[in-house]
Chains A and B, each alone.
Chain A
Amino acid sequence: MEFTLLFAAAVGPGAAWIVLRFGEPHDEAEASRRELWDTMLTGIIAGVLVGRLAAMLTAGVNPITHLGDVVVIRGGVATGWAGLAGLVTIGVAAWRRRRPKLPDALAPAALTGLAGWHAGCVLRSACLGTPTSLPVGWAQPGSEIVRHPVELYAAALLLLAAALVWIWRRRAPLFAPAGAALAAAGMARLVTEPLRPSLHGGPVAWYAGALAAGTLVAAVALARRSAKHDREPPPPRR
C-alpha cells in the first residue's frame, strides 16, 4: 500500500529524534534538545522538498504547472540534491544562530536517522538487491531468487558510523565529526550501491563527492588542531 513509504520514512526521523532526546546533553553545541531537533527537522524537510523538485525537473515535469506532483514523494527524490539541501540548511542555521558546533552535535543523530531510513525498508518490503548465494540473503514472496538485503547492510554500516562519531565527537576538533559523518554517509551508500539493481546505476558521483568532501573537512579540522598544538608553548614545569 502507498502508506508503507510513509511508515518507513517515519523510522528515519524517529531514530534521529531518539538519539537527540535520550542522548547525552548537548552542552557543547550551546543548543537545547528542542533546537537541535528543530534544526534537523528543517534540514530533512528542505532536503526532501529540494530533492523532489530536482527529480521532477530532471524528468521534465514542470513543478509549477503540476504542483500536486510535488507531494508524490514516491515518484522520486534526487538523493544528491536532497542531501546537499539538508546540509546547507543546517549550515545556514548554525551560521545565523552563531552556533558553529551545531553540525557536530547533529552528526550522530543524522547518521542514525539515515540508518533508520534504510532499515525502514522492512516495512515496505524493499530491502533486496542483487542475487546472492550467501546465507544472509532471502527471496521475494513467490520467487526463488535469493537476494542481498542491501538496505540492511547500509543501515548497519551507518549505525556503526553513528556510534563511532558519537564516541569521538567530544574529543574531536570543530567540524571534524560533521565531516566524518558526511564521509561515512557517502561511503555507506557507495559501497552498497553495486548491490542495488538500478536503471541508471545510482547517483554514485554524489556519494563519492560526499565521501571526498567529508574526508577533506575532517582532515582540515584535524590538521588545524594539530598546527595549533604545535604553535602553543609547552606547559611550564613545576
Chain B
Amino acid sequence: MLPPTSEVELGSPYTPPMRRLTLSLVVLLAACGASSQSIDDIPELPAVSTADLTSLLAGSDLPVIVNVWASWCTPCRSEAPLLAAAADEYGPEVRFVGLNVRDSQTQAREFVAEFYRGAAIENVYDREGGVPVDLGGSRAVPLTFFFAAGGELVVLHNGVIDERTLAIQIDELLRG
C-alpha cells in the first residue's frame, strides 16, 4: 500500500513511481543522445554559385537530388538522417548534393559531422542563400530539388521530406 503524501519526506526510502520513471527516462535519453562532434576532419564546404551548380546539373549523367539545408533549421535536422540513408542506398544511381545556406562554415561543418559524416552527399556552401531562388525555389528551408540527368527540374519539394515521398521521387527519377 502506498503511504499518504504527507508521509513522503525528504530522505525517505519511498520514491513515487512516476518520479522514478521520469528520472529513468531522462537518464536514458541523455545517455542515448549524440555527444558533441569533432569537426577537425570535416573540410570547409566549397562555396558554390548558381552558375557552378547549373553547370554541375547539366553535366551530370545521373539524376541529382539537391537538398537545401541550414544548421539553424530544426526540420533540416529531422530529415538529415533520412537523406544520409538514401544517399547510402542510392549513391551509385543518384547524385546527392547538400546545399547549405545562410550559415557559418563552423556550424555547417558541425552539422555535417553530426549527420553526414561518411555519407555519399556532396555538401556545398551558399552564404547568401540566393542559389535555391535562382534554381526555381525560394528562401525557405528545407527544400529538395529532384533533377533528371542533364539538369531538368522534375519536382521541387517544399518543407521536410518524409521517407515515402523521398522513395517515390527517387523511383520516379530512376524510371523517368
Contacts and interface: CB of A to CB of B under 8 A. Distances in A.
29 contacts: A1-B158, A53-B29, A57-B32, A57-B33, A60-B115, A61-B34, A61-B77, A61-B78, A62-B33, A63-B29, A65-B34, A68-B74, A72-B74, A72-B75, A75-B75, A75-B160, A75-B162, A76-B78, A126-B162, A142-B154, A145-B175, A145-B176, A196-B164, A196-B167, A197-B167, A197-B168, A198-B167, A199-B82, A199-B163
Interface in B125-176: 154-155, 158-160, 162-168, 170-172, 175-176
A1 B156 CA distance: 12
A74 B167 contact: no
A2 interface: yes
A199 B159 CA distance: 19
Given A57-B32, A64-B26, A143-B172, 15 more contacts: A57-B33, A61-B34, A61-B77, A61-B78, A62-B30, A65-B33, A69-B77, A69-B78, A72-B160, A74-B162, A75-B79, A76-B82, A128-B168, A145-B176, A199-B166
A179 to B, nearest CB: 28
Contact of A76 (B32, B89, B162, B171): B162
Task: For the complex of A and B, list the 5 residue pairs with the smallest distance between their C-beta atoms, beginning with the closest.
Answer: A62-B33, A75-B78, A59-B81, A197-B167, A74-B160
Nearest to A196: B164
A11 B172 CA distance: 28
A173 interface: no
Interface string B17-60: 00000000010011011100000000000000000000000000
A53 B155 CA distance: 30
B34 A200 contact: no
A197 B171 contact: yes
Interface of A: 1-2, 53, 56-57, 59-66, 68-69, 72, 74-76, 126, 128-131, 140, 142-143, 145, 147, 196-200
B79 to A, nearest CB: 6
B121 interface: no
B8 interface: no
A199 B168 contact: no
Contact of B155 (A68, A75, A142): A142
Question: From DSSP, what is the main secondary structure of chain B's interface residues?
Answer: helix
A199 B163 CA distance: 7
Contact of A197 (B77, B78, B82, B164): B164
A36 to B, nearest CB: 24
Interface of B: 26, 29-30, 32-34, 74-75, 77-79, 81-82, 85-86, 89, 114-115, 154-155, 158-160, 162-168, 170-172, 175-176
A68 B72 CA distance: 11
A24 to B, nearest CB: 36
A145 B168 CA distance: 11
Contacts of A63: 29, 33
Contacts of A66: 74, 77
B38 to A, nearest CB: 15
Contacts of B159: 1-2, 74
A69 B159 CA distance: 14
Contacts of A69: 74, 77-78
A131 B30 CA distance: 43
A127 to B, nearest CB: 10
